[in-house]
Structure 1
Amino acid sequence: MSVFRLDKAHIDGLVNAGIQLSLIEVDEANDTGRMLLEQHYRSIGFLRDDESPPRYAVTIAPFLFHLVAILNLVACYEYQTCEGRGWGTSPAREWSRRLRDAALRRLPEAATQVTRIAGIEYLVYQTLPAWENTPWGITSLDEVPDIGDGEIVIPVIRRGLPVDILTGPSGSFSNGGLSSRVRSVVIVEIEGEPVPEFACIREPSDDAPAVSLRFEYGRYVARPADEPDRWFMASGAFLHTSDSRWSELIGHSLPIPLHDRTE
């Protein structure tokens, strides 16, 4: 991501967030905004060392910000400002840290945990809609998501046991199903319930989609978990892994059928 000059609205957003989270009083807003703006301008070379600090007068937002949106504002400001001389010991850095910590303290603990999506680690709050809906570098306070009812809904992070897909020498007969596209899956549920904690190893991904197990006719079969109402039939593919948790999960060490064919 390239460094660019932040709009005054972004500084306004940080200052409003500071008022909202009781870091500053309203009568401190202009001085705080001027300090943040000066550090940013000097960092990107927009303001030389021999030039006076910029003029600044805060615009007060008529609504409260979503906590996750505040964290996005802080992350963007720090990224766009951290390259300048003196950033490490600057009041702007310390103020940004305090603002971030104040927002984090008000989040549910689950929102601050690490999750993996497609092999990349994120903090859970960075996957929430309010983060995605906050532009990287706002140009208007109206672009900041509001606090709404204050509830922060944390999506259920599915984890399960990764297993291999086994096919015969002729390949898959799934008619475009999972076994024709990927070589592994993640078992995330059994009979509609999450897998036991000991089997919660990895999150599903595009390369290893989620499957669920159903016990039918005296044995387990696996089906795509994200299409529970669709009818699937056997494709000639099976699931297995050498992981010792396999037999603990399904009760034996043999492969089980993967039903991923539709017609």
Structure 2
Amino acid sequence: MAPFELHTAHIDGLVNAGLQFGVIATLDDATLAGQMLLQQHHRSIGVLRDHDDPPDYTAALADHTFHAVAVLSLLDCYEYQSDETADWNTSPAHAWTSRLRDEVLSRLPAEAKARVRYGSLSVPAYPLLPAYTDTPWGVTALEQIPGIEDGTVEIPVVRKGLPAEILTGPIHCPNGGLSSRVRHVTILGLGQDRELPAFARLREPSDQAPGVYLLFEHGRYVARPADAPPGMWFAASGAFIHTGDWRWRELIGHRLPIPLHDHHPER
């Protein structure tokens, strides 16, 4: 991606985040921080020479509290567009953005920082969250930065799982279960704690591939619908689930299909 000149609103977003997360103490400090960030950015893209005076800048205050993940997007964009100087790693801008990033990350739950599989890459979970993807790469107005209403940092972590195929044979009695209407599922969790290793988190569930959990019962794994109310009982429908993906054996210890329990007798 080619570098471009950031709008002043992007700098405003960063200094407002500095105020919000305690990196900046006063509005006067916000203006000085914004001048410093803008000077580094303009040096990086060639607008200013190394010893030119800082550009004119006065901080503008936002009328809402920023979502922590949106601030991480602001930081990623700023650093990408501002790190082309020889002294970037020792610059005040780098030290300032690193401090803000550390403050923001300290407020996030562990699952938002955990590494997950994204295609062939291993990435932190937070860039896949809506607050990150909804933040423009280079904002032009403070209103574009997603906010939070009550000041708390709650992270709606994207649930992803391993896609698998439903196999059916001549004896199949789903009684309205999911195998009566779809041919695929998404494995969202494994075992009693319903957790899934990061390497298997590939795709979100959908209407065409609803979520299931793999539960170990009576010496083997069975699959059950993930959206079933607590305490709802399911029986085998005659369907099985399987995938040829190498992650299947890593999850359950063998390559064989496992029964799908989606038959609810009381339906």
Say whether the fold is shared (TM-score over 0.5): yes
1:76 corresponds in structure 2 to 77
Amino acid at match of 1:6: L
CA deviations on 1:109-156 (whole Å, 9 max, x unpaired) are 222212224444332222222212211111111111223123413336
CA deviations on 1:176-195 (whole Å, 9 max, x unpaired) are 9547xxxxx76445xxxx53
2:232 corresponds in structure 1 to none
For 1:91 and 1:48, how far apart are their aligned partners in 2?
Answer: 16
1:155 corresponds in structure 2 to 157
Conserved 8 A contact 1:110-1:154: no
User: Offset of 1:28 from its aligned partner?
Assistant: 1.2
1:46 corresponds in structure 2 to 47
1:195 to 191, 197, 203: 191
Conserved 8 A contact 1:188-1:211: yes
- Of residues 87-96 and 139-148 in structure 1, the stretch that sits farther from structure 2 once superposed is 139-148
For 2:241 and 2:251, how far apart are their aligned partners in 1?
Answer: 17
Q: Percent identity?
A: 41
1:116 corresponds in structure 2 to 117
2:212 corresponds in structure 1 to 212
For 2:251 and 2:109, how far apart are their aligned partners in 1?
Answer: 32
SS in 1 for 2:65: coil
2:22 corresponds in structure 1 to 22
Question: In structure 2, do the counterparts of structure 1 residues 244 and 199 end up closer, same or farther at CA, with 3 Å as the change threshold?
Answer: farther
Question: In structure 2, do the counterparts of structure 1 residues 195 and 81 end up closer, same or farther at CA, with 3 Å as the change threshold?
Answer: same
Amino acid at match of 2:135: T
1:239 corresponds in structure 2 to 242
Conserved 8 A contact 2:34-2:57: yes
Amino acid at match of 1:86: D
Conserved 8 A contact 1:237-1:257: yes
What is the aligned-residue RMSD (CA, Å)? 4.2
TM-score (norm 2): 0.68
- Of residues 48-57 and 140-149 in structure 1, the stretch that sits farther from structure 2 once superposed is 48-57
1:98 corresponds in structure 2 to 99
Conserved 8 A contact 2:112-2:125: yes
SS in 2 for 1:116: strand
SS in 2 for 1:150: coil
CA deviations on 1:43-91 (whole Å, 9 max, x unpaired) are 0112223543311111122222221111111111011111222111100
Conserved 8 A contact 2:237-2:260: yes
Amino acid at match of 1:100: R
TM-score (norm 1): 0.69
User: Offset of 1:93 from its aligned partner?
Assistant: 0.2
